[in-house]
């Protein structure tokens, strides 16, 4: 692992983004796509040897200085790239998924006129995330943190002529700024307490601050609890946890490759990474850890309930992401940071697979996203079907404990459920039950998606959107019995990433579970590793070990019965439990609640400042008042400037008389 290798991994995507962004249409679609995609594959190929080196123990933590950054009194920090085990895991996740998303976009965005801009944004997003995970100090981490926020705004609102995309981009930006305020305050407070922003120095000093207090809002409170809660608020915004989650489903307005990149490997995992990176700090803050457990477990359950009612295929997967992030957070909250990172690792593969598979379905269905107009697609797009089937088996966690065989989600999600039970505290037990119930709901909504999309009768005949988008010849109109439209398999650039990610969804858990879960040497001090807790996790009762498998089977059977065996069941359920369904379908009315509590008052206050303050006071006596004086003065001057010679002679005479009078007097 050389310094040059690390620098290239991080800065190649930035260089590609600059070239594609500035070159834009003058550079051309093919050149822009080739440069950005080539840069990401190069970064990916250089990242895997680093990860494997940490895996076999041949590499150790490395810090690569880049440049001097700030020297101001006691505040001093440089720009440096820190690579340890935790960073190595994130490098392969980010670069692998991003490289495949770039390749996938060759097919998905083929007809878009702004391809260079799109690929430049993708590469910029990747660079910002790489800066975040290689940060050696909190300010550098904040740079990457805000960088992914900017890039997400650009990507979600990429189709800027679409009003809903603009609204979604602004919503994501504003909600994340709320969380980022907490993150900034946490960084400020950490510097105030430790007099440094260096992450290694802070983590060394953190245990010594356990039990200390600090003045906050007029009270004496535990120092580390305050700092970690503020930092976690930033994680809640970036990783869409309950309360600051509302931006995430709306982010589906961006192109599908954006959804895969944001929701699988980059932005939403930043909060989990930050908590794990600062795990020695969080271990000294029991109140903050309790908050992490509760918020993660509540999010896990809350998002899973909503996923069972949505019809938009991408929104189902988006709420699934929100739920899976809840698993990661409550794993970190109970002290199993390795399990949290393991689920982040496996989740990146199967969630990217599901999103890109959904994009392939949408591509086949002429950009229809409503699953009510799918059906019977497994015969028309078989490769996409098999890829999404593997992704579904991975996210639902198919596997058998005694056989030591299972898909990716079986190894990571089941470990989180077991470790929550092993922790034994009241909050951990709450998280355990929320995790089990969420696993049941995850199985149900995942198989519901599969059955509605790939089984049953073709329902696209009923979709006006699809049929009106298809131009039929007279012969087709007379002979075709399927409404004139045939779903088609995606092109090769879209299918190759599906194949690669399918391998990850099947094998990522099986291959890497021993290192991520059981090896303290693997983590080598990059996170806090509770070896005793892991031993207790392996000793939980067999019923706990099989809990996730049991509910996974129940969820599958429930979805099969409701959408294959007896399709009238969902409508009857909605009729019987209308209020419950409306509550869940409308996302627990969080958007409506925030609209009443925050949005409308903010607009009301803004209108007051605008009408009374800006227009009524500032403009009236400022620019408008000055302009009025100029107009009036010009009107008077105009009367004097008559253009007649005798008028000017009279003025000159009067002026001369006035001057002589002044001199004499």
**For the segment 521-568, what is each residue's pLDDT rounded down to a tens digit?**
899 889 999 999 999 999 999 999 999 999 999 999 999 999 999 999
What torsion do the CA atoms of 556, 557, 562, 566 make, to the nearest 10 degrees?
A: 140
- DSSP for 463-527 reads -HHHHHH----HHHHHH-SSTT----PPPHHHHHHHHHHHHHHHHHHHHHHHHHHH-HHHHTTSS
Contact 372, 311 (CB under 8 A): yes
pLDDT-derived band of residue 471, with 50, 70 and 90 as boundaries?
Answer: very low
- Residue 476: the pLDDT is 41
Model confidence, pTM: 0.89
**pLDDT 10s digits, 282-324:** 999 999 999 999 999 999 999 999 999 999 999 999 999 999 9
Q: What is the pLDDT of residues 96-149, one digit of tens each?
A: 999 999 999 999 988 888 899 999 999 999 999 999 999 999 999 999 999 999
Q: Give residue 475's pLDDT.
A: 41
Angstrom distance (rounded) from CA 172 to CA 95: 23
How far apart (Å, rounded) are the C-alpha atoms in residues 638 and 520?
A: 87
> 9: which 2 tokens?
């991994």
Contacts of 451 (CB under 8 A, 6+ apart): 559, 560, 563, 564
Asked if 325 and 272 count as a contact pair (C-beta separation under 8 A), the reply is yes
Q: Which two tokens stand for residue 505?
A: 């969804």
Is the CB of residue 451 less than 8 Å from the CB of residue 308? Answer: no
| pLDDT for the residue 541 | 93
Averaged confidence pLDDT in the chain: 89
CA 386, 388, 389 angle in degrees (round to 5)?
60
Kindly report, residue by residue over 477-532, the tens digit of the pLDDT. 334 444 456 788 889 999 999 999 999 999 999 999 999 998 888 998 899 999 99
Question: How long a stretch of residues is the chain?
Answer: 665
Rounded to whole angstroms, the maximal C-alpha distance in the chain is 118
Please answer whether residues 107 and 491 qualify as being in contact, where contact means their C-beta atoms are separated by less than 8 angstroms: yes
Stretch (H or E) spanning 409: helix 408-423
CB-based contacts of 198, cutoff 8 Å, min separation 6: 77, 136, 137
Whether the per-residue pLDDT at 638 is higher than 50: the answer is yes
pLDDT single digits (tens) 162-198: 888 899 999 999 999 999 999 999 999 999 999 999 9
**Three-state secondary structure of 133-173:** HCECEHHHHHHHHHHHHHHHHHHHCCCCCCHHHHHHHHHHH
Interval 453-463: pLDDT, tens: 999 888 876 65
């Amino acid at each position: 692992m050389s310094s040059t290798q690390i620098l290239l991994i991080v800065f190649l995507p930035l260089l590609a983004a600059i070239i594609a962004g500035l070159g834009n249409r003058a550079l051309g679609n093919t050149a822009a796509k080739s440069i950005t995609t080539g840069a990401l594959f190069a970064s990916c190929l250089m990242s895997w040897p680093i990860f494997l080196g940490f895996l076999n123990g041949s590499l150790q933590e490395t810090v690569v200085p880049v440049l001097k950054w700030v020297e101001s009194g006691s505040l001093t920090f440089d720009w440096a790239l820190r690579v340890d085990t935790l960073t190595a895991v994130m490098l392969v996740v980010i670069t692998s998924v991003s490289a495949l998303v770039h390749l996938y976009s060759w097919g998905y965005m083929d007809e878009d006129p702004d391809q260079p801009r799109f690929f430049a944004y993708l590469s910029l997003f990747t660079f910002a995330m790489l800066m975040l995970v290689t940060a050696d100090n909190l300010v550098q981490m904040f740079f990457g943190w805000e960088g992914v926020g900017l890039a997400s705004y650009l990507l979600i609102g990429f189709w800027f002529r679409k009003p809903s995309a603009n609204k979604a981009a602004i919503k994501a930006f504003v909600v994340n700024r709320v969380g980022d305020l907490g993150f900034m305050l946490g960084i400020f407070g950490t510097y105030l307490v430790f007099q440094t922003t260096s992450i290694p120095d802070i983590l060394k000093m953190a245990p010594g601050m356990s039990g200390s207090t600090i003045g906050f809002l007029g009270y004496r409170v535990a120092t580390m609890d305050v700092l970690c809660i503020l930092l976690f608020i930033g994680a809640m915004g970036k990783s869409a946890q309950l309360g600051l989650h509302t931006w995430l489903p709306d982010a589906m307005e961006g192109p599908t490759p954006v959804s895969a990149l944001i929701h699988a490997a980059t932005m939403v995992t930043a909060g989990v990474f930050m908590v794990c990176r600062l795990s020695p700090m969080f271990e000294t803050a029991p109140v903050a850890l309790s908050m992490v457990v509760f918020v993660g477990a509540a999010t896990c359950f809350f998002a899973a309930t909503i996923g069972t009612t949505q019809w938009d295929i991408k929104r189902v997967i988006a709420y699934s992401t929100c739920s899976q992030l809840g698993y990661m957070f409550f794993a970190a909250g109970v002290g199993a940071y390795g399990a949290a990172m393991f689920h982040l690792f496996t989740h990146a593969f199967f969630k990217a697979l599901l999103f890109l598979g959904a994009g392939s379905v949408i591509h086949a269905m002429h950009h229809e996203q409503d699953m009510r107009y799918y059906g019977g697609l497994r015969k028309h797009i078989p490769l996409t079907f098999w890829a999404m089937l593997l992704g579904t088996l991975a996210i639902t966690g198919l596997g058998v404990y005694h056989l030591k065989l299972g898909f990716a989600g079986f190894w990571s999600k089941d470990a989180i459920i077991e470790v929550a039970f092993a922790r034994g505290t009241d909050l951990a037990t709450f998280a355990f039950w929320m995790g089990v119930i969420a696993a049941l709901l995850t199985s149900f909504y995942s198989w519901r998606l599969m059955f509605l999309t790939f089984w049953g009768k073709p329902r696209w005949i009923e979709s006006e959107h699809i049929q009106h988008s298809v131009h039929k010849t007279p012969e087709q109109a007379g002979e075709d019995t399927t409404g004139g439209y045939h779903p088609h398999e995606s092109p090769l650039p879209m299918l190759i990433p599906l194949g690669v990610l399918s391998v990850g969804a099947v094998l990522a858990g099986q291959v890497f579970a021993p290192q991520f879960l059981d090896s303290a040497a693997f983590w080598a001090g990059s996170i806090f590793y509770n070896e005793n807790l892991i031993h207790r996790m392996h000793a939980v009762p067999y019923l706990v070990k099989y809990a996730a498998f049991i509910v996974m089977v129940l969820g599958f059977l429930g979805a099969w019965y409701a959408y294959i065996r007896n399709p009238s069941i969902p409508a009857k359920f909605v009729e019987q439990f209308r209020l419950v369904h409306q509550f869940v379908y409308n996302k627990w009315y969080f958007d409506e609640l925030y609209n009443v509590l925050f949005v409308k008052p903010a607009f009301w206050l803004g209108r007051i400042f605008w009408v009374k303050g800006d227009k009524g006071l500032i403009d009236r006596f400022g620019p408008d008042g000055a302009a009025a004086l100029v107009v009036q003065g010009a009107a008077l001057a105009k009367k004097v400037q008559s253009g007649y010679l005798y008028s000017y002679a009279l003025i000159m005479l009067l002026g001369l008389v006035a001057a002589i009078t002044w001199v004499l007097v």
